[in-house]
């Protein structure tokens, strides 16, 4: 599967074969930059899901028995394929979900490669057998994995799940987001070229109802790994519970940046805006709430206002663009509703708002928006916008800032800014979140990533991300072969 999708709809990739799109319902893929159709994929059904799960199930026993070195060798080949086609992958991501080209190359494709490298390192150092008490404890692959992924960092999210599962010896059925499925089609082509055995990796395109739901409830799926919204995560947990599958969830967030009174203003502003506005705010771990000492609010916001001019919306295909469109017109409508609600609730707009972007009216563009004096009784304080919208809330004491940061159903990420790292670390320890960045430190794909509270469960990335796909067997009375 190449990078050109303009002419024909892409069929599923099942048991090493590409299905046809002839006579099938398809889902169009639309560029959020200008509304152009950039491709289409087959809309999968129960039958497609069943075929893919049967293929993954049949391939599992042999794949589970391959030596770890062989699985590592194939994933390393896949990495080589991704790197070779980095530009084409980035171009497809730009077309289908509007990620600015330079960002797509570095952060969408580049991070996916880094994810896979860290997972390979984890697989290499993993000890599958150890003695505990009077038993030989063996780790084994979980089985058939259903991976369901969103559109915001599609290749990164796919790589974390698929890379870890394949390295662990699991077989996979992937259902990528119907909004941005073309990068997954390219990846399947690379899996094929890398030489993975048929049935080990399968892709079924389609939406949540047509493909996601039958996957989650299929009796031969042993584990569901999901990244997406909180509400779909809840539904998947309930649906999967009937067959007691293992379910890991990476959900949303409303992460807070705690600015301590000794934090450098300019540096903290740059880092927070980068976190909140990159990928047009469509980042689950984005720092979208800023907690700032009330005595510092005016200065911090003034600096943020100046810095926001660097985040001018532009066409994602242009190399110099840093802020592309939102991923779809539907997403633009959702973001506008959040902005209108915040205004109604009494938050003060410092810059941005619901107005369209001049010259870019044909796409899903929105101005980066900053609100001040946001209080915990406002929806903006609690609800994930998934757009470039920042909420500033003043505080009086550090204890109050910590309480405000933790006043969320979510617990995905957070940030602390201070000239004194040990002071920042003390605050970081008190945040109920799965990750915290000190002074703007961003995603570390070698360290575990995941959420507390309703941001999900389980961890992705590196060693812990790899181990999520393992079962544990205690063979009592046995010893490790010498
Ligand atoms: P979404 O939940 O709408 O969809 C995610 C995936 O689930 C898609 O593939 C979709 O087709 C599928 N799906 C929808 N309904 C389903 C159902 N009933 N059963 C099974 N599958 C179903 O999310 P989205 O809009 O694609 O992505 C944005 C959300 O993802 C945001 O809330 C964001 O915070 C979250 N997210 C979280 C992380 C993380 O690691 N924590 C990372 C990225 C995105």
CATH number at 154 reads 3.40.605.10
Closest CA to 34 of 98, 89, 127, 79: 98
Report how far residue 124's alpha carbon sits from residue 49's, in angstroms, rounded to the nearest whole number.
32
Residue 165 lies in a domain: yes
Same domain, 433 and 332: yes
Q: In angstroms, what is the span from residue 295 Cα to ligand 1's centroid?
A: 39
| Stated pTM of the model | 0.97
Residue 7 lies in a domain: no
Same domain, 329 and 391: yes
Q: Of ligand 1's atoms, which has the minimum distance to the CA of residue 331? A: 25
Give the residue whose CA is nearest to atom 8 of ligand 1.
177
Give the residue whose CA is nearest to atom 40 of ligand 1.
250
Q: Of ligand 1's atoms, which has the minimum distance to the CA of residue 153? A: 43
Q: Given the residues 96, 118, 170, 284, select the one marked as catalytic.
A: 284
One digit per residue, pLDDT tens: the chain, 482 residues?
Answer: 655 787 789 999 999 999 999 999 999 999 999 999 999 999 999 999 999 999 999 999 999 999 999 999 999 999 999 999 999 999 999 999 999 999 999 999 999 999 999 999 999 999 999 999 999 999 999 999 999 999 999 999 999 999 999 999 999 999 999 999 999 999 999 999 999 999 999 999 999 999 999 999 999 999 999 999 999 999 999 999 999 999 999 999 999 999 999 999 999 999 999 999 999 999 999 999 999 999 999 999 999 999 999 999 999 999 999 999 999 999 999 999 999 999 999 999 999 999 999 999 999 999 999 999 999 999 999 999 999 999 999 999 999 999 999 999 999 999 999 999 999 999 999 999 999 999 999 999 999 999 999 999 999 999 999 999 999 999 999 999 88
Give the residue whose CA is nearest to atom 42 of ligand 1.
284
Question: Which burial class, exposed, middle or buried, applies to 397 when counting CB atoms under 10 A from its CB (0-12, 13-18, 19+)?
Answer: exposed
Same domain, 328 and 216: no
pLDDT for 452: 98
pLDDT for 278: 98
Same domain, 179 and 84: yes
Token pair for residue 38?
Answer: 């950039």
Q: In angstroms, what is the span from residue 61 Cα to ligand 1's centroid?
A: 30
pLDDT tens digits, one per residue of 102-158: 999 999 999 999 999 999 999 999 999 999 999 999 999 999 999 999 999 999 999
pLDDT for 100: 98
Token pair for residue 330?
Answer: 């539907």
Report how far residue 239's alpha carbon sits from residue 180's, in angstroms, rounded to the nearest whole number.
24
Same domain, 130 and 42: yes
Give the residue whose CA is nearest to atom 33 of ligand 1.
252
Q: Of ligand 1's atoms, which has the minimum distance to the CA of residue 151? A: 26
Is there an atom of ligand 1 within 6 Å of 252 CB? yes
What's the CATH number where 421 sits?
Answer: 3.40.309.10
Give the residue whose CA is nearest to atom 31 of ligand 1.
229
In DSSP terms, 323 is beta-bridged to 313
Q: Which of 112, 150, 217, 218 to mutate to test the pocket of ligand 1 (most atoms within 8 A of CB)?
A: 150
Q: Given the residues 250, 307, 384, 460, select the one marked as catalytic.
A: 250
Number of domains within the chain: 2
Count CB neighbours of 99 within 10 A.
32
Beta strand pairing status for 171-175 and 414-417? Answer: unpaired
Report how far residue 370's alpha carbon sits from residue 357's, in angstroms, rounded to the nearest whole number.
16
Residue 381 domain boundaries: 255-448
Q: In angstroms, what is the span from residue 69 Cα to ligand 1's centroid?
A: 33
pLDDT for 437: 98
Q: Among this protein's residues, is 400 annotated catalytic?
A: no
Instruction: Count the helix, strand and coil residues of the chain and give each as a percent rounded to the nearest 5.
Output: 40, 20, 40
Q: What Cα–Cα distance (Å) separates residue 260 from each residue in 228, 292, 415, 436?
A: 32, 7, 11, 15
Same domain, 288 and 200: no
Residue 315 lies in a domain: yes
pLDDT tens digits, one per residue of 172-224: 999 999 999 999 999 999 999 999 999 999 999 999 999 999 999 999 999 99
Instruction: Quote the DSSP letter at residue 107.
Output: I
pLDDT for 482: 81
Q: In angstroms, what is the span from residue 211 Cα to ligand 1's centroid?
A: 13
Report how far residue 152's alpha carbon sits from residue 280's, in angstroms, rounded to the nearest whole number.
10
Is there an atom of ligand 1 within 6 Å of 365 CB? no
Phi, psi torsion values for 391, nearest 5 degrees: -115, 120
Same domain, 85 and 115: yes
Q: Of ligand 1's atoms, which has the minimum distance to the CA of residue 231? A: 2
Same domain, 333 and 204: no
Half-sphere exposure of 32 (CA within 13 A, CB side): 29
Q: In angstroms, what is the span from residue 230 Cα to ligand 1's centroid?
A: 8
Residue 122 lies in a domain: yes
Same domain, 263 and 395: yes
Q: Of ligand 1's atoms, which has the minimum distance to the CA of residue 175? A: 9
Is there an atom of ligand 1 within 6 Å of 353 CB? no
Give the residue whose CA is nearest to atom 16 of ligand 1.
208
Q: What Cα–Cα distance (Å) separates residue 329 from each residue in 30, 31, 215, 364?
A: 9, 10, 28, 5
> ∠ CA 289-275-381 to the nearest 5 degrees?
15
Phi, psi torsion values for 261, nearest 5 degrees: -70, -15
Residue 302 lies in a domain: yes
Same domain, 105 and 240: yes
Same domain, 354 and 376: yes
Closest CA to 254 of 458, 465, 454: 454
b/e per residue, 323-351, with b = 16+ CB within 10 A? Answer: bbbbbbeebbeebbebbeebbeeebeebb
Helix (H), strand (E) at residue 201: strand 201-203
Report how far residue 473's alpha carbon sits from residue 129's, in angstroms, rounded to the nearest whole number.
9
Beta strand pairing status for 287-293 and 389-395? Answer: parallel
Q: In angstroms, what is the span from residue 150 Cα to ligand 1's centroid?
A: 5
Q: Among this protein's residues, is 298 annotated catalytic?
A: no
Residue 5 lies in a domain: no
pLDDT for 1: 66
Residue 137 lies in a domain: yes
pLDDT for 21: 95
Same domain, 352 and 409: yes
Is there an atom of ligand 1 within 6 Å of 43 CB? no
Count CB neighbours of 309 within 10 A.
9
Residue 41 lies in a domain: yes
Closest CA to 311 of 301, 328, 299, 324: 324
Is there an atom of ligand 1 within 6 Å of 452 CB? no
Is there an atom of ligand 1 within 6 Å of 284 CB? yes
């Amino acid at each position: 599967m190449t990078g050109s999708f303009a002419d024909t709809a892409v069929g599923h990739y099942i048991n090493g074969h590409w299905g046809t799109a002839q006579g099938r319902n398809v889902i169009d893929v639309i560029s959020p930059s200008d509304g152009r159709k950039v491709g289409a994929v087959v809309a999968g059904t129960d039958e497609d899901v069943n075929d893919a799960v049967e293929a993954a199930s049949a391939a599992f026993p042999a794949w589970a028995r391959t030596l770890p070195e062989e699985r590592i060798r194939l994933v390393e080949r896949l990495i080589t394929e991704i790197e070779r086609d980095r530009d084409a992958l980035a171009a497809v991501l730009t077309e289908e979900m509007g990620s600015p080209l330079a960002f797509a190359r570095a952060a969408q494709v580049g991070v996916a490669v880094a994810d896979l490298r860290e997972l390979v390192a984890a697989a290499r150092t993993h000890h599958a057998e150890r003695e505990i008490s009077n038993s030989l404890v063996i780790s084994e692959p979980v089985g058939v994995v259903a991976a369901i992924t969103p559109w915001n960092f599609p290749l990164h999210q796919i790589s974390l799940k698929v890379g870890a599962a394949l390295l662990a010896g699991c077989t996979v059925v992937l259902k990528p987001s119907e909004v941005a499925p073309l990068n997954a089609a390219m990846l399947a082509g690379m899996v094929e070229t890398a030489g993975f055995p048929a049935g080990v990796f399968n892709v079924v395109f389609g939406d949540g109802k047509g493909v996601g739901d039958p996957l989650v409830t299929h009796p031969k799926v042993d584990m569901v790994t999901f990244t997406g919204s909180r509400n779909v995560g809840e539904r998947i947990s309930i649906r999967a519970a009937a067959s007691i599958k293992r379910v890991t969830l990476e959900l949303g967030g409303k992460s807070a940046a705690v600015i301590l009174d000794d934090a450098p203003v300019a540096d903290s502003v740059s880092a927070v805006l980068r976190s909140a506005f990159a990928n047009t705010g469509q980042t689950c771990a984005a720092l979208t709430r800023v907690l700032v000492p009330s005595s510092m609010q005016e200065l911090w916001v003034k600096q943020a206002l100046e810095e926001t001019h660097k985040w001018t919306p532009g066409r994602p295909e242009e190399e110099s663009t840093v802020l592309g469109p939102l991923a779809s017109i539907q997403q633009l409508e959702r973001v506008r509703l959040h902005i209108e609600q915040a205004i109604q609730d009494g938050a003060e707009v410092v810059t941005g708002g619901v107005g369209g972007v001049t010259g870019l009216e044909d796409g899903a563009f929105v101005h980066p928006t900053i609100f001040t004096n946001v209080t915990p009784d406002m929806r903006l304080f609690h609800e994930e916008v998934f757009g470039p919208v920042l909420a500033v809330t003043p505080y009086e004491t550090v204890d109050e800032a910590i309480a405000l940061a933790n006043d969320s159903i979510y617990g995905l990420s957070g940030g602390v800014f201070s000239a004194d790292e040990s002071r920042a670390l003390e605050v970081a320890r008190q945040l109920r979140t799965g990750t915290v960045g000190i002074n703007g430190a961003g995603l570390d794909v070698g360290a575990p990533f995941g959420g507390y509270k309703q941001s999900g469960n389980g961890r992705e990335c590196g060693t812990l991300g790899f181990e999520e796909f393992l079962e544990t067997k205690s063979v009592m009375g046995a010893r490790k072969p010498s």
